[in-house]
Amino acid sequence: MTATLDVRGVEKTYGKGKRAVHALRGVDMRVEGGEVFGLLGPNGAGKSTLVKVLMTVIRPTKASGTLLGKPLGDRATLARVGYLPEHHRMPEYLTGRQVIEHFGALSGVDRVTRKRRATELLELTGMTQWEKVRLAGYSKGMRQRIGIAQALVNEPRLVVLDEPTDGVDPTGRRDIRQMIAAIRQRGCTVLVNSHLLSELELMCDRIAILVQGKVERQGTIAELTEKDARHEIVVACADEAARSRAMGSVAGLGFVEGVAPPGAAAGSGELTLVRAGVDEAVLQQGIDALRASGCTIRSVMPRRPSLEELFMQAVRDPGTGKALEVGAKR
């Protein structure tokens, strides 16, 4: 597969001397064609700076790599890129349709084509019935939908969405996720940046976690969580003796007592047993041993850390274990 974006050693320093801020300290990132790629990081990690470098809004201090097969910074390539900036402001006196057509005109899309695409994009974003209403009368969610539509009017091969679900209610967020899936279906690569990790978990093929100007982790969520994958068995134990029998039967297989899953009733007589790794054979032996010990198995679950846990691990200072301060030196 060809990469939509492949950059190496991107550096950006704002200011000079004592006031210098090293916003990007050598970013290596690769986004494959046709995937939904999530860019994550705490505030101040350099996400906006990286996007601005890609969009040629600012010049990098140092960078090499390609965007859609062309060297980074090639302005002509941007005609094939769509962009939804964070906190975008669009003219309030324009209707939804006019916004889409206006951005189409700015991207050099001819009149007939942009009218046709506006109709398609109003449909894709569920805004057809609002097309003649001015933005001044739109909710935040409706503005985001029109923002996504305008980012697609030039039929981009890459669309960059900065906080697309910002200020949108849960139903609207689900709709936006579906829109992103539809955009990918059209063969367009999506680079998305969001604070809502559970959202990204649901929509991204791969992610990169940016911490203090460097990519700390990069890969599919499955790859990144593999190391901490585990099996969890919940058993019902009538009394203390049953608990120790259950524990004793699987201790030799590497199971240890774990934390009860959220929502489990306290004092329900349940015991949660956890084994690191995802060894299916050992899991079967564990199930056999537990059944032989006479206890009832309530559930068997493969578990992986959530994206939130992964994120917290990545932003933790390796020395102190605390979350890194914005702007702190490593």
Selected binder of ligand ADP within 38, 44, 65, 147 (CB under 6 A): 44
Note the residue count of the chain.
Answer: 330
- Cβ neighbours of residue 320 under 8 Å, at least 6 residues apart? none
Evaluate whether 246 touches 273 at the Cβ level (below 8 Å).
yes
Q: Which amino acid is at 57?
A: V
- Find the part of the chain contacting ligand ADP (CB under 6 A) among 14-22, 67-75, 137-145, 248-256: 14-22
Selected binder of ligand ADP within 7, 25, 36, 47 (CB under 6 A): 47
- Find the part of the chain contacting ligand ADP (CB under 6 A) among 46-54, 197-205, 253-261, 312-320: 46-54
Distance in Å, CB of 323 to ligand ADP, minimum: 15
Closer by beta carbon to ligand ADP, 43 or else 320? 43
- Find the part of the chain contacting ligand ADP (CB under 6 A) among 38-46, 172-180, 270-278, 309-317: 38-46
Distance in Å, CB of 195 to ligand ADP, minimum: 10
- Ramachandran angles phi, psi of 121, nearest 5°: -75, -30
197 binds ligand ADP (CB under 6 A): no
Closer by beta carbon to ligand ADP, 197 or else 237? 197
Helices (H), 152-187: 170-185
Distance in Å, CB of 134 to ligand ADP, minimum: 31
43 binds ligand ADP (CB under 6 A): yes
**Does residue 4 sit in helix, strand or coil?**
strand
91 binds ligand ADP (CB under 6 A): no
Distance in Å, CB of 139 to ligand ADP, minimum: 25
- Cβ neighbours of residue 163 under 8 Å, at least 6 residues apart? 86, 87, 193, 194, 195
3-state SS record for 194-240: CCCHHHHHHHCCEEEEEECCEEEEEEEHHHHHHHHCEEEEEEECCCH
Distance in Å, CB of 235 to ligand ADP, minimum: 45
Closer by beta carbon to ligand ADP, 21 or else 136? 21
Selected binder of ligand ADP within 4, 40, 48, 166 (CB under 6 A): 48
Closer by beta carbon to ligand ADP, 191 or else 250? 191
Selected binder of ligand ADP within 4, 49, 77, 125 (CB under 6 A): 49
Residue pointed to by tokens 């992103």: 180
45 binds ligand ADP (CB under 6 A): yes
Closer by beta carbon to ligand ADP, 46 or else 104? 46
41 binds ligand ADP (CB under 6 A): yes
Rg (CA), the chain: 25
65 binds ligand ADP (CB under 6 A): no
Evaluate whether 194 touches 226 at the Cβ level (below 8 Å).
no
Structure tokens at 161: 């969405």
CA dihedral of residues 14, 17, 22, 27 (deg, nearest 10)? 90
Selected binder of ligand ADP within 10, 23, 54, 149 (CB under 6 A): 23
Q: How many residues bind ligand ADP (CB under 6 A)?
A: 13
Structure tokens at 220: 């599919």
327 binds ligand ADP (CB under 6 A): yes
Q: Report d(CA 5, CA 158) in Å as an integer.
A: 9
63 binds ligand ADP (CB under 6 A): no
**Does residue 273 sit in helix, strand or coil?**
strand
- Cβ neighbours of residue 286 under 8 Å, at least 6 residues apart? 231, 233, 250, 253, 255, 273, 275
Secondary structure (DSSP) of 59-83: --SEEEEEETTEETT-GGGGGGEEE
Residue ranges binding ligand ADP (CB under 6 A): 14-15, 21, 23, 41, 43-49, 327
